Amino acid sequence: MMDLHIEEETYMKYYIGIDLGGTNIVAGVVNESYEILAKASVKTNLPRPEEEIAADMAKVSQEAAEKAGLTMADIEWIGVGTPGVANSATGVIEYSNNLGFNNTPMVKYLETALGKPTFIENDANAAAYGEYVAGAAKGAKNAVCITLGTGVGAGIVIDGKIYSGSNFGGAEVGHTVISVDGPQCTCGRKGCFEVYSSATGLVRMTKEALAANPESAMKDEERISARTAFNYMRAGDATAKQVVDDYIKYLAAGITNTINIFQPDILCIGGGVCNEGDPLLVPMKEIVKKEVYTRNSAKNTEIVIAKLGNDAGIIGAAFLGNAHD
């Protein structure tokens, strides 16, 4: 009797990740190899009703699928990274001041529009998960990813799962305090990590230093940015060098605090300031190495630069179906 062996058909799985931002809504189709096959985007156009935003999210998801040569029938699920407090258990964005959301049932909106299982998560958590599955933290058991942008965002992944706390508001390391009597933070506290180590904080410190030292060459800069102090430091300006030294000192303090709490295998940092490379990283790592509680340990946290850039949020969102128990 002839032995007929029929191989089981294998097929690629596809997911859609949505990065919901205050300026743009971007959807991407991602395959199981973490490759983005196609993207579609639309302006968020705030303020406007949540139903309209959800409708546009569904629209760009369909457009991205079409660009990838797929239909929604080919998509396993949808994932959304959003600013604010996103309750991954109920599918409700409980609060987002940037978007004007209060108890917005986003999963319900999208599942109704697209007919696919949908998951939501805070955008920093989604970006961290993207780095964990496909970027700088790939291969780690536990990881923390910190983004130095307008604020200081963070995401924590423990044993492959996103940690967001009992109220889905966890991982706010940007609102741990570096100096109890420091500058006012938008969160209501003073001296937060975010006040010192965000791009906004670097700009503030640069402007304050220039006001105190008007002879600095930075006075010729038409617009102070987060790059200004680093640029003028390289040109030999003493005031700029002091700003950079202070910025690195505060950044190292916040990173050391985070490592002392979580002791991750990898801590990755992202954001435009990380493009400064060694002038930022080398002295910052030296401070952390001296100050971290486990400085005498045989194994310490590896500090690396995030790899995925703006794609981290899309890739992380696309795999949110795997990110929670």
Tokens of 148: 């130095």
- Taking the chain (325 residues) in runs of 10, the rounded mean pLDDT of each run is 50 94 96 97 96 98 98 97 94 92 97 98 95 96 95 94 91 95 94 96 97 97 96 97 98 98 96 92 97 90 95 97 81
pTM for the structure as a whole: 0.89
Question: How confident is the model at residue 6, as a pLDDT?
Answer: 45
CA distances from 299 to 182, 231, 292, 294, 303 (A): 33, 35, 12, 8, 12
DSSP result, 135-184: STTTT-SEEEEEEESSSEEEEEEETTEEE--TTS----GGGSBS-TTSPB
Give me the pLDDT at residue 8, please: 47
pLDDT at residue 4 in the model: 52
Provide the residue type at 202 as one letter. L
Residue 44 near residue 23 (C-beta atoms within 8 A) = yes
Q: Please state the domain extents for the chain.
A: 14-131+312-322, 139-306
Query: Which residue, chain included where needed, has tokens 């230093």?
Result: 209
75-82 and 118-122 as β-strands: parallel, antiparallel, unpaired?
Answer: parallel
pLDDT of residue 95: 92
Top-tier CATH class for 14-131+312-322: alpha beta
In this structure, which topology does domain 139-306 adopt according to CATH?
A: Nucleotidyltransferase; domain 5 (3.30.420)
DSSP character at residue 277: -
CA–CA gap between residue 179 and residue 193 (Å, rounded): 8
Of 58, 3, 17, 13, nearest to 320 by C-alpha is: 17
* Rounded distance between C-alpha atoms, residue 288 and residue 15, angstroms: 38
pLDDT for 183 equals: 96
Give the contacts of 110 (CB within 8 A, at least 6 positions apart): 54, 57, 58, 61, 78, 80, 116, 118
CB atoms within 10 A of CB 90: 14
